[in-house]
Structure 1
Amino acid sequence: MRFVLPIFLALALTATAQDVHVRVSHDVKTGIEATTEFPTVQMAMDHHPFAGPAPGKDGRPARVYIKIAPGTYHERVIVTQNHSNITFLGMGKSPEDVVITNSLNAKQAGGTFFTETVEINGPGFEADNITFENTAGNTGQAVAVANRSDRSIFKHCRFLGHQDTLFADYGRQYYVDSYIEGGVDFIFGNATVIFDHTELHANGPGYLTAQSRTAADQTTGYVILNSKVTSGIDHAAPPISTDANIAGARSIASAQGAIGLGRPWRPYSRAVYINTELPSDVRPTGWNNWGKASNEQTAFYAESNSTGPGANPSARVPWSHQLTAAQAKQFLPARFLRGKDHWNSIAEAAKLP
């Protein structure tokens, strides 16, 4: 006589499940071979088993680990709000080995916020050793990653695009040992973010950040910490006119062939550079008011110990700030990202491979 586990007991055992591990690889043909092997990242997101409520490794909430084999994945991926504590792990030797890519600009998609290659909404998202890419190029707004995940971490990741590469829009976000490339406003949104030991690479004239804090009491803002800004601007190329038919032309022209540290997408925009190396292509004035003088009274733009040929405190716009090391402490991860739940972003990132 075969023993059948009572359904209530089976459900109870399922509910105590811990971490879930899912494999994504091009060598998986249909996604129906098993419940934990899929040919695409989105199929894994749609059909993976959910982690149970019991703690996972290190006593953390249980997680779903999406382990992505080396390859280029031509797809769009959406992590919905009900998919919390998801970790994408690139299984290659470097971030270049696992690429999630798409090509879509605002004109094609019907707006900037429909262009992203990867959209993340569930809290507690993590990614390690992956490249996220939008290959639309200089054709207007084209987002590689739209991140609305509180307590999200990206480690050893690359973000490639031109205009609006990374939409860091909501929650506390920590990027470490990563690389972000773009030309126009390529980090934008209203999240609370620290970019730690990260390279911001300008592949054309424009502005590195367009943070969008809307009120003085909001805790949001961008901090570029212990990082490096690099430039790939081709100064031999002819200047781009302000012809409205040319994607991003007005923004690029306003940058005057150089890099701006930031400009206010919304009036209370906040961005701070701490211990960061700046190239000679950074405009001496540093910051821009986006054509609205009143933004100078509300935006908060600051530096502390900038280095390199682009560090020029005496030439910065008078409404920006130069912070002492003591003043800069409020923008370090332990305070800036802590929140009411005492989130330790550095400790969490250290647990990733």
Structure 2
Amino acid sequence: MGTVIWKVALDGSGDFKTVQEAIDAVPLGNTCRTLIRVSPGIYQQPLYVPKTKNFITLAGLRPEITVLTWNNTATKIDHHQASRVIGTGTFGCGSTIVEGEDFIAENITFENSAPKGSGQAVAIRVTADRCAFYNCRFLGWQDTLYLHYGRQYLKDCYIEGSVDFIFGNSTALLEHCHIHCKSAGFITAQSRKSSQETTGYIFLRCVITGNGETSYACLGRPWGPFGRVVYAYTFMDACVKHCGWDNWGKTENERSACFYEYRCYGPGSCPSKRVTWARELLDDEVEQFLMHSFIDSDPERPWLAQRMALRIPYSA
């Protein structure tokens, strides 16, 4: 079967008026891709892509004019799904929650519009394998982008926030992305729990910017004791603290956390001033992290295909 194509438009000119209605129309256990074209507009509604609704693509024209937004926080959740389905607290507060595998989004903004100081307020939670995001924006303050589980590929995306705004325990490659630190905090909170887990976040050829102030953002802190994050060939502006990393108040985390940099540059890149327990990778060590195989490790069952110098999920 070929791809099913639907259009969502707020003005009623499409097949559906809301994105959730289109997702709801996808049959459970579907085996072919459904392309949902989202017309320009601000869609104010929490979204849920359930398990077994796989192979869904959300495609906008431009992320600036195609916005999926809601304002739940960890302490206040208003959702069309019951808490037993989506969860509670930080886990359940995502404006968009993706649990269906092989999900793709392009040219879309995912936003949590809760104001600064609202605590945890997730723009999107991804609990699904083989998901890809192209030219998307993720807007929020604390806990913006919850890469919770599975493997994810993000390319040419914009991610902003303050505290722990890229977090979870997935295996993610963020390539050529723009990371914006809106106020004091931590970019990542990766929660790898043992040295046996293959999870971690790789930032490859990214750009980190700030609000004009200096030395107020850390590159990460270990939400799990073995948290693993690598920044390679990444520009860091002066918002990044010279110490670079934080142990989350636990000295024992310094023995297990895997926080690495490789050939980064800019005023926030200060290898000589970093905490002693984070380090610069050597050339022969960094190879494993610079390859798409970090998120696509099984050559017998690859999920990313090379097309026109882009990595596109085979399922697309």
Same fold (TM over 0.5): yes
2:302 aligned with 1:342, yes or no? yes
Contact 1:333-1:345 at 8 Å conserved across structures: no
SS in 2 for 1:37: coil
- Find 1:76's aligned residue among 22, 42, 46: 46
Aligned counterpart, 2:147: 168
Contact 2:221 2:247 in 1 (8 A): yes
Which whole-Å CA distance do the structure 2 matches of 1:306 and 1:346 have between them?
A: 26
Q: How does 1:11-160 map to 2 (within 5 A)?
A: 17-28=1-12, 37-48=15-26, 53=31, 62-90=32-60, 92=61, 94-109=62-77, 111-138=89-116, 139-160=118-139
TM-score under structure 1 length normalisation? 0.81
Worse-matched range after superposition: 164-173 or 323-332: 323-332
Shift of 1:105: 1.4
Alpha-carbon distance, 1:321 to partner: 1.6
Q: Does 1:177 align with 2:156?
A: yes
| Secondary structure of residue in 2 paired with 1:205 | strand
How far is the alpha carbon of 1:82 from its aligned partner? Answer: 1.0
1:289 is aligned to: 247
- Aligned equivalents of 1:345 and 1:134: distance in 2? 32
User: Does structure 1 conserve the Cα–Cα contact (< 8 Å) formed by 2:29 and 2:53?
Assistant: no
Deviation at 1:346, TM superposition (A): 5.5
**Structure 2 Cα separation of the partners of residues 308 and 234 of structure 1:** 15
Q: 3-state DSSP class of the match of 2:111?
A: strand
Q: 1:342: Cα distance to partner?
A: 2.5
Aligned counterparts of 1:299 and 1:51: Cα–Cα separation in 2: 38
CA distance in 1, matches of 2:130, 2:313: 14
- 1:283 and 1:42 mapped to 2: Cα distance? 41
Counterpart amino acid of 2:279? H
Offset, 1:228: 0.4
Partner of 2:80: none
Distance 1:196 1:75, change over 3 A: same
Question: Over aligned residues, Cα RMSD in angstroms?
Answer: 2.0
In structure 2, how many angstroms separate the alpha carbons of the residues matched to 1:225 and 1:345?
Answer: 18
Q: Which residue of 1 aligns with 2:81?
A: none
How much has 1:325 moved relative to structure 2? 3.2
Counterparts of 1:185 and 1:297, CA distance in 2: 21
Structure 1 residues 233 and 106 mapped into 2: Cα distance closer, same or farther (>3 Å)? Answer: farther
Equivalent-residue separation in structure 1 for 2:190 and 2:265 (angstroms): 22
TM superposition shift of 1:208: 0.2
Q: Distance in 1 between matches of 2:89 and 2:28?
A: 33
* Counterparts of 2:228 and 2:271, CA distance in 1: 18
Give the number of equivalent residue pairs: 300
Residue 229 (structure 2) aligned to one of 259, 271, 275: 271
In structure 2, what is the equivalent of residue 200 of structure 1? 179
Contact 2:132 2:313 in 1 (8 A): no
Q: CA deviation at 1:76?
A: 0.7
Unaligned runs of at least 5 residues, structure 2:
78-87
In 1, Cα distance between equivalents of 2:306 and 2:158: 18
Select which of 194, 198, 207 maps to 1:219: 198
Q: Distance in 1 between matches of 2:27 and 2:52?
A: 13
More helix by share: 1
Distance 1:104 1:77 in 2: 11
- Of 308, 318, 342, the residue aligned with 2:276 is 318
Alignment deviations for residues 120-139 of structure 1 (CA, whole Å, 9 cap, x no partner): 01111000000000010221
Q: Is the 8 A contact 1:204 1:233 kept in 2?
A: no
Q: Residues 19 and 318 (structure 1 numbering): CA distance in 2 closer, same or farther, change over 3 Å? A: same
SS at match of 1:137: coil
- Separation in 1 of the partners of 2:89 and 2:26? 30
Larger Cα-atom Rg = 1
Structure number with the higher strand fraction is: 2
4+ residue segments displaced more than 6 Å: none
The AA in structure 2 aligned to 1:319 is: W
Q: 1:278 to 1:40 in 2, by over 3 A?
A: same
Q: Which moved more, 1:100-109 or 1:295-304?
A: 100-109
Tell me, in whole angstroms, the C-alpha distance in 1 between the residues paired with 2:294 and 2:280: 18
Partner Cα distance (2:254, 2:126) in 1: 28
CA distance in 1, matches of 2:313, 2:129: 18
Q: Distance in 1 between matches of 2:70 and 2:270?
A: 38
**Shift in Å, 1:50:** 7.1
**Cα distance between partner residues in 1 of 2:311 and 2:105:** 10
Once the two structures are TM-superposed, the CA of residue 154 in structure 1 deviates from its matched residue by 0.2
